[in-house]
């Protein structure tokens, strides 16, 4: 390397909610609950709403409807399983609610901006993708920019006709747009299993976040006030879900990411690959 500050890592592709912004990933979760209630007067728990997080939002609604507890209540109430028209109806209710609320959840997770700047200082490109559709992402991008977060690339779940997670298409679109020459020098960072699977499917290093995202489900204040036993319980809950996707690394929050960067740099320079 001609410059000692350069890294063998070419790009990091971050998820949005629960990874860089919106500690606890509450923007989408609470809106799913509200959309089911408004459209069908159907009660959904936050836990049920969180279960398939990371998928595109239409697919997420479909997956929620297939959760056994939800399916049983739906069939008891409506006499048949949730169908495509039901999903469409809930999605159409979900969208304006999400657009109205997403900017309220655009604050960066603690230390995120410092970590991002550290990557840029190494000439590492900042990619991103999300389970949000483009019309929601455009609002979130503008709101996050006001806080100082401006990734080099943003791919929304409905940008590509091939679809979203857990397939690799959004991550690979970042590779193309960022001009990355080798996917093995990329890292995918996410708080949900479909996003980790996405990274594996794209041939990248993968990093799961235990405490800032969907699986632990802590608000920022709960996280800041928590004792070690509470934090460990959150870690254990998230780890049980994320380990099934075999991430290369599991860390608490983005604040711990510099240590991962240093280790992957070491491994790449030693000839290792994801």
Residue numbers in the known binding site are: 15, 17, 191
- What are the structure tokens assigned to 146, written together? 């006001």
Q: Which residues, listed in sequence order, are joined to residue 205 by a DSSP beta bridge?
A: 187
Q: What are phi and psi of 22, to 5 degrees?
A: 55, 70
What are the DSSP E strand ranges found in 136-177? Answer: none
Residue 57 annotated as catalytic: yes
Point out the catalytic residue in the list 41, 43, 57, 146: 57
Which residue matches tokens 């503008």? 142
Residue 15 annotated as catalytic: yes
CA distance 92 to 230: 37
CA distance 34 to 73: 17
Alpha carbon distances (Å) from 197 to 8, 30, 100, 245: 23, 24, 30, 6
How many residues would you count in the chain? 274
Structural Rg of the chain based on CA atoms:
18
Cα separation of the two ends of the chain: 21
CA dihedral for 230, 232, 235, 239, sign (positive or negative): negative
Beta-sheet strand order (sheet of 125-128): 125-128, 11-14, 186-190, 205-209, 249-251
Binding positions for Mg(2+): 15, 17, 191
DSSP letter, residue 179: T
Catalytic residue ranges: 15, 57
């Amino acid at each position: 390397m001609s410059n000692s500050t350069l890294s063998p890592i070419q790009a990091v592709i971050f998820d949005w909610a629960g990874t860089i912004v919106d500690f606890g990933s509450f923007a989408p979760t609470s809106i799913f609950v509200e959309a089911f209630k408004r459209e069908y007067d159907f009660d959904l728990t936050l836990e049920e709403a969180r279960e398939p997080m990371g998928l595109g939002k239409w697919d997420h609604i479909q997956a929620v409807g297939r959760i056994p507890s939800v399916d049983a209540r739906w069939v008891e109430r409506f006499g048949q399983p949730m169908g495509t028209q039901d999903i469409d109806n809930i999605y159409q209710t979900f969208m304006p609610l999400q657009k109205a609320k997403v900017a309220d959840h655009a604050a960066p997770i603690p230390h995120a901006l410092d970590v991002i700047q550290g990557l840029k200082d190494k000439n590492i490109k900042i990619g991103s993708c999300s389970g949000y559709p483009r019309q929601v992402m455009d609002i979130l991008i503008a709101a996050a920019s006001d806080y100082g977060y401006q990734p080099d690339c943003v791919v929304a779940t409905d940008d590509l006709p091939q679809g979203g997670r857990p397939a690799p298409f959004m991550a690979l679109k970042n590779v193309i747009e960022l001009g990355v020459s080798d996917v093995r020098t990329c890292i995918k960072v996410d708080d949900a299993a479909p996003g980790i699977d996405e990274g594996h499917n794209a041939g990248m290093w993968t990093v799961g976040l235990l405490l800032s995202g969907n699986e632990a489900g802590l608000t920022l204040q709960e996280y800041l006030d928590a004792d070690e036993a509470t934090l460990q319980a959150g870690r254990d809950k998230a780890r049980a879900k994320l380990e099934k996707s075999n991430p290369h690394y599991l860390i608490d929050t983005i604040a711990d990411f510099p240590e991962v960067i240093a280790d992957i740099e070491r491994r790449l320079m030693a000839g290792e690959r994801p």
